[in-house]
Chains A and B, each alone.
Chain A
Amino acid sequence: EAGVTQFPSHSVIEKGQTVTLRCDPISGHDNLYWYRRVMGKEIKFLLHFVKESKQDESGMPNNRFLAERTGGTYSTLKVQPAELEDSGVYFCASSPLGGGTDTQYFGPGTRLTVL
Chain B
Amino acid sequence: AQSVTQPDIHITVSEGASLELRCNYSYGATPYLFWYVQSPGQGLQLLLKYFSGDTLVQGIKGFEAEFKRSQSSFNLRKPSVHWSDAAEYFCAVGPYNTDKLIFGTGTRLQVFP
Binding site for B on A (CB under 8 A): 3-4, 31, 33, 35, 40-45, 48, 55-56, 58-59, 91, 93, 95, 100-102, 104-109
Instruction: Name the distance in Å between A30's Cβ and chain B's nearest Cβ.
Output: 12
Are the CB atoms of A56 and B99 closer together than 8 Å?
yes
Complex CA gap A30/B42 in Å reads 22
Give Cα A55 to B98, complex, Å: 10
B4 A31 Cβ-Cβ under 8 A: no
Q: Does B56 contact A (CB under 8 A)?
A: no
Q: Please tell me if the beta carbons of A42 and B99 are within 8 angstroms of each other in the complex.
A: no
Q: Is the CB of B44 within 8 A of A106?
A: yes
Task: Using A43-B44, A43-B106 as known contacts, list a sample of 17 further A-B pairs with CB atoms less than 8 Å apart, ordered by residue number in A.
Answer: A3-B43, A4-B43, A31-B99, A35-B101, A42-B102, A42-B105, A43-B90, A44-B103, A45-B102, A48-B99, A100-B99, A101-B98, A101-B100, A105-B43, A106-B43, A106-B45, A109-B43
> Separation in Å of the B91 CB from the closest CB of chain A?
10
Q: How far is the CB of B83 from chain A (nearest CB, A)?
A: 21
Complexed CA–CA distance, A108 and B104 (Å): 18
User: Which of A41, A58, A102 interacts with B51 by CB under 8 Å?
Assistant: A102
